Chains A and B, each alone.
Chain A
Amino acid sequence: MTTVSTSGFYDSATFNMNTLQKQVDKLQTEIATGNQYASAADNPTATAQMRSLQLQDAIGTADTQNANTASTSLSLADSTLSEVTSTIQQIQTLAQQAASSTLTDTQRASIGTQVGQLYTNLTNLANTQDTNGNPLFGGNASGPAYTLDASGNATYAGSATANTVSLGAGLSVTTGVTGPQVFNFSVGGTATNLLSVVQNLATSLQGGTAGTTPQAAAQAALNQLSAGLTQATTAQTLIGARENWVTTTTNVQSKLTTQRATEESNLGSTDISSAVSQMQQTMVALQAAQASFVKVSGMSLFSMLQ
């Protein structure tokens, strides 16, 4: 004879209600936390992918900050180079005046003093520091980009190349230009640099150079200044192109970030509407199981025997 034993009935009813209760609990946790998986064991593959994305996120966040830093340095270099070009233009105007035969040497000497002042401005601009106190045109070096000796001659003290910062996704940008890239050029096959050209001009106009007249020196300087202006403008164009590049990569980075966020959400976020409806369904089943358990367990022959 096969009967349903009383303890067997209670055991299996408890097992079934426990199973439903566990499902309800799990769904409730998913809805409350917004995460489909409480631990890696809930879905090893999806959570492994999410961890890879997490690493990319950490690097991506750093890269976005790096892009901002690069952008700041580049725009500082850009505005400094604007100052440099406008100073060169002022010197050009002064040299133009000094080259004219209508001026006396005394007047040229006075112009020479003005050029000397502008030279000081140029060396200051060449030694501009960025927001972190590093030289803007010194490459990788930490000290001033140009050192001045006792007689005011400027010598480049920085490194040959500028820093390159990683912007993520295999992209990078050189965050600055070096002093030689801004100031060095050659005229008629002779290499020279803007700072020494301007300093020589100032000295010559004040009659300090043997073998040449101030007027001739001014005339000779015009070509060189023009070449110097071209060089500085070229450097500024380069900076502008890099700023655009940073903007482009920032856009790429933010698209990647959005993409990763979407992927993470697809992998591990709770689909609230389906989770809620599933929970509702499970709760209906649980309530039905509880109600029927109470009714069936109350059906005992003993309760009929009075």
Chain B
Amino acid sequence: MTSQLLSIAASGLAASSAALNITAQNIANASTAGYVRETINQSELNTPENTGVTNAMALSGVHVTGVNRDVSTYLQGQVYATGSAAAAADGNVTNLTNVGNAVEQSNVYDSITSFQGALESLGANPTNASLRESVLADAQNMAQSFNLASNSLATAQSGMQTDASGGVTQINQLANNLAQINQQIAIDPNPANNGAGLLDQRDAALTSLSKLTNFNASYAANGTVTVQMGGNSGPNLVSGGTATALASATAANGTISFTLGGTALSITGGSLSADQNGLAAAATATTSLNSIASSLITTVNTAQAAGADLTGATGAAMFSGTTAGNIAVTMTSGNQIATAATGSAAGSQDITNLNAMQSALNTAGIATNTNSLIFTTSSATASATTAQTAQDAISTQAQSQLAAQSGVDLNTEAANLLQYQQAFQASGKVIQAADTMFQQLIGIT
């Protein structure tokens, strides 16, 4: 009888000790990202078949049946979905800001303004050498601003391409990790062993994946996950122990597209989709900027050819090149600016051709189109910023809901700690009582 008392108390000690370990684990991981609170499952142990005498004799203590990992896959799904939307929104703001800044901060618009102002000033005194040189200097600034804008756009593009190819590599690594984790979970689905740790690893990998792309995760009864990339109807990235390879291709204009196992793939979330959007915006901005530069070159050079410069000769071309990237000033002296009508004598103060050039610039809409370009890129950034604010709030909300459901609350753990500590002490007392009883029996002589 004493030996039974001892074994019951020993099982109580073991259970309290396991519960204390779980509590300590929870406290230690209170601030670990993605950690799910663990609780202990225990049940009463009866072994009537072994004792077989009376019910009272069947009591055998307590048994730890497993570790419960208390998490809602619905809320996790919400966290992944809103997380990838927020990552896309963050990425969109960064990428579109870079694209917008490339045009806005290279001062293309300001330099066009100065150039047109200088042409207007030249009208008052067309033979003045310093006014002519100032037009030429402003033309040079303008050409360099276009070059700078073009280079900045190219830099932004290559940054996004690097980020995207890094993202593709990361996704493939995560997919392989998930496939391996799936294999291990399939072999050993019992959370009482190291199962909870495997599930934590699985969820951490899915959280990382949600920063890169949107996906749909579905779980089998044994805890393995199937990941469909791009949403509910997307192709499988991970299924069981198999991962499918993701690849990206870069088009001539710098935009990127994705294939999963050779099949075209469309994604709407995560930093990868932000890179795709940003590269599309950069390609559009580059096309617009090149078209403005080309129109500027043609307009000014055509106007030059239609007039006479300070020496009376037909005006030479002011710009060379065809795009924003290669526009350059070829004119070497301000005297070559063709202000006068064709056939005018040397040193003529006629400004017929200058006026024609100015109105041609207005008709071509050089300043207006540049203004529109900046408006388009900045509007895209502004709406991305609005979306970012909303998505961040939604994502934070989803995270705190999940945290409320599955995170660690230190106050609860403190209460548990006391409870299990007291249970441990009580079991200890039972052993002491058994010992006292045993001594009493021994002492009977």
List residues of chain A with CB under 8 Å of any chain B CB.
2-8, 10-12, 15, 39-45, 47-48, 51-52, 54-55, 58-59, 61-63, 65-66, 69-70, 132, 134, 139-143, 159, 163-166, 175, 300-302, 305
Which of B96-104, B227-235, B322-330 lies on the face that meets chain A?
A: B96-104
Does B128 touch A at the CB level, under 8 Å?
A: yes
In the docked arrangement, what's the CA distance between A302 and B355, Å? 83
A-B contact list, 15 entries, CB within 8 Å = A5-B37, A5-B404, A6-B30, A6-B409, A7-B408, A8-B407, A11-B400, A41-B96, A48-B371, A51-B374, A140-B348, A142-B348, A165-B124, A300-B411, A301-B410
Nearest 10 A/B pairs, CB to CB: A5-B407, A142-B347, A8-B403, A40-B378, A58-B117, A41-B381, A62-B120, A301-B414, A66-B124, A3-B409
A42 touching B382, Cβ below 8 Å: yes
Q: Which residues of A contact B37 (CB under 8 A)?
A: 5
User: Which of these, A5, A42, A52, contacts B409 with CB under 8 Å?
Assistant: A5
In the docked arrangement, what's the CA distance between A51 and B379, Å? 15
B378 touching A44, Cβ below 8 Å: yes
In the docked arrangement, what's the CA distance between A40 and B121, Å? 29
User: Which of these, B379, B400, B411, contacts A44 with CB under 8 Å?
Assistant: B379
Q: Which residues of B contact A15 (CB under 8 A)?
A: 392, 396
- What's the nearest-Cβ distance from chain B to residue A42, in Å? 7
Complex: chain B residue closest to A22, CB-CB: B389
User: Which of these, B96, B113, B372, B375, contacts A55 with CB under 8 Å?
Assistant: B113
User: Which of these, B113, B118, B404, contacts A2 with CB under 8 Å?
Assistant: B404
A41 touching B124, Cβ below 8 Å: no
Q: Which residues of B contact A47 (CB under 8 A)?
A: 374-375, 378
Q: Which residues of A contact B177 (CB under 8 A)?
A: none
User: Which of these, B31, B372, B399, contacts A6 with CB under 8 Å?
Assistant: B31
Complex: chain A residue closest to B126, CB-CB: A163
Q: Which residues of A contact B295 (CB under 8 A)?
A: none
In the docked arrangement, what's the CA distance between A69 and B374, Å? 35
In the docked arrangement, what's the CA distance between A47 and B372, Å? 11
Q: Which residues of B contact A61 (CB under 8 A)?
A: 117
Per-position binary interface string of chain B over residues 343-367, scored 1 when its CB falls under 8 Å from any chain A CB and 0 otherwise: 0111111110001000000000001
Q: Which of A3, A54, A132 has the most CB of B within 10 A?
A: A3
A62 touching B121, Cβ below 8 Å: yes
In the docked arrangement, what's the CA distance between A51 and B351, Å? 28
B414 touching A166, Cβ below 8 Å: no
Residues of B99-121 contacting chain A, CB below 8 A: 100-101, 104, 109-110, 112-114, 116-118, 120-121
A140 touching B120, Cβ below 8 Å: no
Does B428 touch A at the CB level, under 8 Å?
A: no
List residues of chain B with CB under 8 Å of any chain A CB.
30-33, 37, 96-97, 100-101, 104, 109-110, 112-114, 116-118, 120-121, 123-128, 340, 344-351, 355, 367, 371-372, 374-375, 377-379, 381-382, 385, 392, 396, 399-400, 403-412, 414-415, 418
A55 touching B120, Cβ below 8 Å: no
Given contacts A41-B385, A140-B340, contact A65 B121 (CB under 8 A): yes
Given contacts A8-B400, A140-B348, contact A44 B120 (CB under 8 A): no
Q: Which residues of A contact B33 (CB under 8 A)?
A: 7
B347 touching A141, Cβ below 8 Å: yes
A40 touching B113, Cβ below 8 Å: no
In the docked arrangement, what's the CA distance between A139 and B378, Å? 49
B117 touching A54, Cβ below 8 Å: no
Given contacts A3-B404, A39-B101, A142-B348, contact A166 B409 (CB under 8 A): no
In the docked arrangement, what's the CA distance between A54 and B351, Å? 25
User: Which of these, B113, B345, B385, B418, contacts A305 with CB under 8 Å?
Assistant: B418
In the docked arrangement, what's the CA distance between A165 and B121, Å? 9
Given contacts A63-B120, A142-B127, contact A40 B100 (CB under 8 A): yes
In the docked arrangement, what's the CA distance between A142 and B244, Å? 79
In the docked arrangement, what's the CA distance between A48 and B411, Å? 55
B403 touching A7, Cβ below 8 Å: yes
- What's the nearest-Cβ distance from chain B to residue A128, in Å? 15
Given contacts A3-B404, A11-B399, A142-B346, contact A41 B382 (CB under 8 A): yes
A300 touching B414, Cβ below 8 Å: yes
User: Which of these, A4, A69, A166, contacts B404 with CB under 8 Å?
Assistant: A4
In the docked arrangement, what's the CA distance between A156 and B346, Å? 17
In the docked arrangement, what's the CA distance between A246 and B58, Å? 117
Q: Which residues of B contact A132 (CB under 8 A)?
A: 125, 127-128
B117 touching A66, Cβ below 8 Å: no
User: Which of these, A44, A69, A140, contacts B375 with CB under 8 Å?
Assistant: A44
Q: Which residues of A contact B117 (CB under 8 A)?
A: 58-59, 61-62
In the docked arrangement, what's the CA distance between A166 and B33, Å? 69
In the docked arrangement, what's the CA distance between A54 and B385, Å? 26
B408 touching A48, Cβ below 8 Å: no
- What's the nearest-Cβ distance from chain A to residue B309, in Å? 13
Q: Which residues of A contact B403 (CB under 8 A)?
A: 5, 7-8, 11
